[in-house]
Amino acid sequence: MQNNKAATTFARALDSINERLAGAAQRAGRARDEVEILAVTKTLSTERMQEAMDLGIRQFGESRVQETVQKKKFLADLLPPEQVPRWHLIGHLQTNKVRRAVELFDCIQSVDSLRLAELLAQEGERRAQPVSCLIEIKISNEARKMGLPPDHLAPFLERAVRLSFLRIEGLMGIAPHFKNPEQTRPYFASLRSLFEKNIGAFSVARPILSMGMSQDFEVAVEEGSTMVRIGTALFGARA
């Protein structure tokens, strides 16, 4: 009974988020299907992730290697290959963990230095398969936030696009946390502007602008986000 109740609660949360995404997209003159949900599942059980997959979620965001190993094995044993989700690393990646991260994740959303980009490309060449990534931009002045300074992006891309085994799919950024989400708007607008100025450097037909989380995703979508990272609003507060 508890599992059924949890699944129902999740379904209601997902319906609410989809309605809010549709409203935000409409306000911006965009289509709802221009925005993907990345479910942030760090610390969640595999059972909760299965609930998400049962309702169509196919992209998961994780930040811990060992936890991701266990979850990938659990879901791979249950699913046919065509239903296996896309795994995104959304936490900071240390250079000494590059090889393991590339083995586990389909996209590294937190590339914040040329050295890290070069190491990922080297690992991609070793595996004979390009490594997909987003460049994390530091749009907040908070000291604890990671990312490449905005004015470093152009020279970074000039060198990074030459890395044959690195596939740069777009940008990611985290706005400061405000009680009033409207205060995040200028941060998201600045990242969108940077994204649009450099869109020719991205290696996919539909580049990703990953911005917006549970507390501010509607503003992010209004400002051009194509991927929102949703955890608490989907699954409730972590224990």
Model pLDDT for residues 142-176, shown as the tens digit of each residue: 878 889 999 999 999 999 999 999 999 999 999 99
Q: What is the pLDDT of residue 98?
A: 95
Percent above pLDDT 70 for the chain: 97
Confidence label for 2 from pLDDT (cuts 50, 70 and 90): very low
**Average confidence score pLDDT of the chain:** 92
CATH of domain 2-235: 3.20.20.10
Query: What is the spatial distance between Cα 207 and Cα 197, in angstroms, rounded to a whole number?
Result: 12
Strand residue runs (E) in 9-71: 36-40, 59-62
* Lowest mean pLDDT segment, chosen from 68-77, 120-129, 201-210: 68-77
Q: Which helix (H) or strand (E) is 117 found in, with range?
A: helix 114-127
The mean per-residue pLDDT over the stretch 90-102 comes to 94
CA 73 – CA 64 distance, rounded (Å): 15
Better pLDDT: 144 or 98: 98
- Asked if residues 210 and 227 have their Cβ atoms less than 8 Å apart, the reply is yes
Cβ-contact 140, 174 below 8 angstroms: yes
Q: Which residues contact 170 (CB under 8 A, 6 or more apart)?
A: 134, 135, 195, 202, 204, 207, 208, 209, 210, 226
Distance between CA atoms of 111 and 113, rounded to whole angstroms? 6
